[in-house]
Chain A
């Protein structure tokens, strides 16, 4: 396996390294965009425990244009249960009345201890602060993701109890992440030998990844994580320290490049270019 490829997972410590790298890189490359911040976990009961993630990434105040008429978001009227109708209605109103609303989204990237990968949580709110329901969030997604979601209602984007805030958020299911990352990173490290090939190039090759989180059952030859793998990985971390940036630092950025488009959040391509 190519150096640095590992098995596509991260340890909690590596997650922090990658997260801090992203914060720095983002700030440097996109000073005009909303900032990613590193939020230490304040629930003191757990934060003192070594070996577990001690923080998470936050991106706030992202406006997502929506052609939905917000009245369709009738939280107080449980009568409208038929989501199919709601969708037609929203489109119709949007067209006929020219209503254009903005939904305010917050994104969290939280380390998932079970899958040992970053996990994307998002929450959308209306202008008046009410949380968006699943069907509204779905309609804010790119068409490709809507299709995937229709096919896989419960294994793609679901409402989950946020692991740190303990409130309902939407989450991209993490169980396919390590497999994708293993593939992407192995490709990445081959290019890395030529030093500054931007990861975006690697990702171009991967094509449209929007449906990818669905292909989690294609774990054909995925070897289980072995003790050897872990040891091997730490060696490589040391070996690669002399290089411009290690795969660990770039892990989150790389993962974002395919995970975020699935929820309609574009990552500017220049973030991926190595700035020296």
Chain B
């Protein structure tokens, strides 16, 4: 445990941590997926199919927000009785309320660049997709923001009290991907906010006197400072065949029934620092197996490091992963016997979870294959979407083996 003697060192690290933090958030906000849109053959009216349209879709945005640009390109092809615009990927209608980057990370096992989507102006699949009209996208965001606020602080006062003007501006910043403007307003969404400055930095750098004993000035939850008591997480699960050698050979998702996604808030209260792994052990304990069954654990993401996956996102995300790998060991210093590389090592949290369990699959957040030893709260602050949810994607082998319930709780 980091006590008095380490104080000096810790301080330096905290400063670095803050810088990394700001950098990671910047990169996350500028993340985008290159997509190529093809008009569905049945909707081609003229003698010639319109050329495909290549564009960058912000990871934290929503597909319908791309409509103005798309309409411009496909102007001639849009029928007079057009429905709401919608998209499919290999036949699967895409849920517009899920952020674009999450859809990509979930549905595209083998990273495909550009992401080839089919565009529709007709025959909106009302049985599968919620109607996307008027302000639906905006309100989907606002309601998610409220929900996240409730999860974190136990009320939605701050979101409800935001002025009309600020609400408009906040949404504009989300649509345009303007982090600074967003942060200015989002800061007011935190209870007890004093005003001014970067709230992330403020939280991370504010020393609290009695923290040394619990192992982290950085990551204490539920205190007076307006720290969240729970972390808002949406988890998306997809399984692939057990005997598939390579997770990336998985067949495309043909129906939403093959995917599970749900909201799983994780409680941060309690003394120890929770890692992503701890959170997963709570949310999906049955996806972990003991190393004895390691023989099948060619699950490791091919030969590549997470960084190679990030090519998809362009050079920007490399620095995110750099930021993350920088951040990990530093926080790990706070805990004994932690190796940032070996997820199996575990943190031996207070709850006494089995240390030797291994997740049969990969975990993605914001296009990054996540180091499971990252502190959950760090991920929450830096890799969350603008609505403050962590969108955690788990692609796993179909596991038949089930743990005794004792191990789970």
A residues 212-262 touching B (CB-CB < 8 Å) = 216-217, 219, 222, 224-225, 227
B residues 378-402 touching A (CB-CB < 8 Å) = 402
Chain A's nearest CB lies how many Å from the CB of B164? 13
- Assess whether B193 is interfacial by the CB under 8 Å rule: no
Partner of A168, one of B128, B156, B161, B237: B128
Partner of A78, one of B83, B127, B402: B83
A227 to B259, CA, bound (A): 34
- Assess whether A208 is interfacial by the CB under 8 Å rule: no
Give chain A residues whose Cβ lies under 8 Å from the Cβ of B284. Answer: 45-46, 49
Contacts A45-B239, A168-B127 hold; do A52 and B160 have CB atoms under 8 A apart?
Answer: no
- Assess whether A173 is interfacial by the CB under 8 Å rule: yes
- Assess whether B90 is interfacial by the CB under 8 Å rule: no
A61 to B261, CA, bound (A): 27
Q: Chain A contact residues: over half helix, strand or loop, or mixed? A: loop
| B131 x A115 contact (CB < 8 A) | no
| A48 x B402 contact (CB < 8 A) | yes
| A79 x B81 contact (CB < 8 A) | yes
**Closest residue to B269 on the A side, CB-wise?**
A227
Give chain B residues whose Cβ lies under 8 Å from the Cβ of A160. Answer: 130
- Assess whether B333 is interfacial by the CB under 8 Å rule: no
Contacts A45-B239, A79-B81, A154-B142 hold; do A51 and B126 have CB atoms under 8 A apart?
Answer: no
| B160 x A168 contact (CB < 8 A) | no
Contacts A133-B131, A161-B130, A168-B129 hold; do A113 and B229 have CB atoms under 8 A apart?
Answer: no
**Closest residue to A7 on the B side, CB-wise?**
B154
A201 to B143, CA, bound (A): 34
- Assess whether B157 is interfacial by the CB under 8 Å rule: yes
| A154 x B81 contact (CB < 8 A) | no
- Assess whether A175 is interfacial by the CB under 8 Å rule: yes
| A78 x B81 contact (CB < 8 A) | yes
Residue interface bits B269-283, CB-to-A below 8 A is 1, else 0: 100000000000011
A159 to B127, CA, bound (A): 12
Partner of B263, one of A50, A113, A167: A113
**Closest residue to A53 on the B side, CB-wise?**
B262
Chain A's nearest CB lies how many Å from the CB of B134? 8
A9 to B282, CA, bound (A): 21
A195 to B234, CA, bound (A): 42
| A219 x B157 contact (CB < 8 A) | yes
B residues 145-171 touching A (CB-CB < 8 Å) = 146-148, 150-151, 153-157, 160-161
Q: 16 A-B residue contacts at CB 8 Å? A: A43-B260, A113-B262, A114-B150, A131-B126, A131-B127, A133-B126, A154-B135, A155-B143, A158-B139, A166-B256, A168-B130, A168-B131, A173-B143, A217-B156, A222-B155, A227-B222
13 more CB-based (< 8 A) A-B contacts, given A168-B129, A227-B269: A46-B260, A49-B282, A49-B285, A49-B286, A49-B408, A114-B148, A133-B131, A154-B143, A161-B97, A164-B262, A166-B259, A175-B156, A224-B229
Q: B residues bordering A, Cβ < 8 Å? A: 81-83, 95, 97, 124, 126-131, 135-136, 139, 142-143, 146-148, 150-151, 153-157, 160-161, 222, 229, 232, 237, 239, 256-257, 259-265, 269, 282-286, 402, 405, 408-409
Closest 7 CB pairs of A and B: A224-B154, A154-B139, A217-B160, A168-B130, A166-B256, A48-B286, A159-B130
